């Protein structure tokens, strides 16, 4: 979203209250009929599903100026189909009535285009995650997931180094890839020894993007340059 679009959205949101959530707090429960739409002012929100065994399956992460739950906002479902949880230490959300938010979107072409662009970007990211999950080898699942994270939640530190801005644990990687925590930790450690990734308890995950893309078996995926 451009600076101009952000300014217009921020101006619209000044008329609405905000709510603050701490990390781990549930904002919307799966199956709940939301009372309002939410737009992220700061922090990050995680959307996820639970398997029949209770395993968490992350679906998407929402950052500044993102709105959720989209399927409910645009009248496609009567209730939330996922859980929405505060993922960072503090999350501040604007609380907006669905009708007023949709009317604002429709009346502001720049915002409407920005919303369309965001959903297309989200669709591309989700297709990349689906591609990662369809690989049979644990190492491939993780490599393709790391590539997705570099494009969607990466910050360039140097021409070859990308820092993942999400505060992820080994369990988070397991949830993202469908692997066990032990397998995810083992595969991450292998990549660390190969110089593909670096991390510690006090430092974020950093990827050598040049080395990472050489491990992808799909040149079209490897050549993607778009920022998700």
Report the pLDDT value the prediction gives residue 3, as an integer from 0 to 100: 79
Mean pLDDT score across all residues of the chain? 92
Flag whether pLDDT at 221 surpasses 90.
no
Same domain, 130 and 69: no
Same domain, 91 and 138: no
Flag whether pLDDT at 1 surpasses 70.
no
Tell me how far CA of residue 17 lies from CA of 33, 63, 157, in angstroms.
19, 18, 36
Task: Please check whether residue 227 lies inside any domain of the structure.
Answer: no
CA 212/CA 218 separation, integer angstroms:
12
Task: Please check whether residue 148 lies inside any domain of the structure.
Answer: yes
Same domain, 47 and 126: no
Task: Please check whether residue 19 lies inside any domain of the structure.
Answer: yes
Same domain, 180 and 212: yes
pLDDT tens per residue, range 173-191: 999 999 999 999 999 999 9
Same domain, 84 and 134: no
Going edge to edge, which strands form the sheet with 26-28? Answer: 26-28, 83-86, 45-50, 56-62
Task: Please check whether residue 115 lies inside any domain of the structure.
Answer: no
| Cβ contact 102:36 at 8 Å | no
In the chain, the number of structural domains is 2
pLDDT tens per residue, range 60-101: 999 999 999 999 999 999 999 999 999 999 999 999 999 999
Report the pLDDT value the prediction gives residue 201, as an integer from 0 to 100: 83
Flag whether pLDDT at 9 surpasses 80.
yes
Same domain, 213 and 134: yes
Same domain, 48 and 77: yes
Task: Please check whether residue 159 lies inside any domain of the structure.
Answer: yes
Give the residue from 107, 130, 153 where a domain finishes.
Answer: 107
Same domain, 31 and 82: yes
Report the pLDDT value the prediction gives residue 173, as an integer from 0 to 100: 95
Global pTM reads 0.88
Q: Residue 222: pLDDT band by 50, 70, 90 thresholds?
A: low
Host domain of residue 98? 3-107
Task: Please check whether residue 15 lies inside any domain of the structure.
Answer: yes
Same domain, 177 and 218: yes
Flag whether pLDDT at 2 surpasses 80.
no
pLDDT tens per residue, range 114-164: 899 989 988 988 999 999 999 999 999 999 999 999 999 999 999 899 999
Average pLDDT over residues 197-219: 89
Same domain, 17 and 79: yes
Report the pLDDT value the prediction gives residue 4, as an integer from 0 to 100: 83
Task: Please check whether residue 208 lies inside any domain of the structure.
Answer: yes
DSSP characters over the chain: --HHHHHHHHHHHTTS-EEEEETT-EEE-TT---SSEEEEEES-EEEEEE-TT--EEEEEEE-TT-EE-HHHHTTS-SS-SSEEEE-SSEEEEEEE-HHHHHHHHHH-HHHHHHHHHHHHHHHHHHHHHHHHHT-SSHHHHHHHHHHHHHHHSEEEEETTEEEE-S---HHHHHHHHT--HHHHHHHHHHHHHTTSEEEETTEEEEEEHHHHHHT-S-HHHHT-----
Share of the chain above pLDDT 70, in %: 95
Report the pLDDT value the prediction gives residue 226, as an integer from 0 to 100: 60
């Amino acid at each position: 979203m451009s600076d101009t679009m952000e300014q217009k959205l921020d101006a619209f949101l000044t008329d609405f209250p905000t709510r603050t959530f701490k990390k781990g707090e549930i904002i919307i429960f799966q199956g709940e009929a939301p009372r309002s739409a939410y737009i992220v002012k700061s922090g990050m929100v995680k959307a996820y599903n639970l398997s029949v065994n209770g395993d968490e399956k992350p679906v998407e992460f929402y950052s500044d100026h993102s709105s959720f739950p989209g399927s409910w906002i645009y009248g496609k479902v009567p209730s939330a189909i996922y859980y929405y949880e505060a993922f960072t230490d503090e999350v501040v959300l604007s609380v907006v009535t669905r009708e007023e938010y949709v009317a604002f979107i429709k009346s502001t072409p720049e915002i409407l285009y920005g919303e369309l662009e965001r959903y297309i970007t989200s669709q591309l990211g989700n297709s990349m995650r689906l591609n990662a999950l369809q690989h049979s080898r644990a190492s491939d699942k993780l490599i393709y997931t790391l590539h997705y994270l570099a494009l969607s939640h990466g910050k360039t530190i140097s021409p070859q180094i990308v820092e993942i801005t999400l505060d992820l644990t080994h369990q988070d990687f397991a949830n993202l890839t469908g692997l066990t925590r032990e397998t995810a930790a083992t595969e991450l450690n292998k990549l660390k020894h190969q110089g593909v990734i670096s991390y510690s308890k006090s430092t974020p995950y950093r990827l050598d993007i040049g080395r990472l893309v050489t491990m992808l078996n799909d040149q079209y995926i490897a050549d993607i340059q778009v920022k998700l």
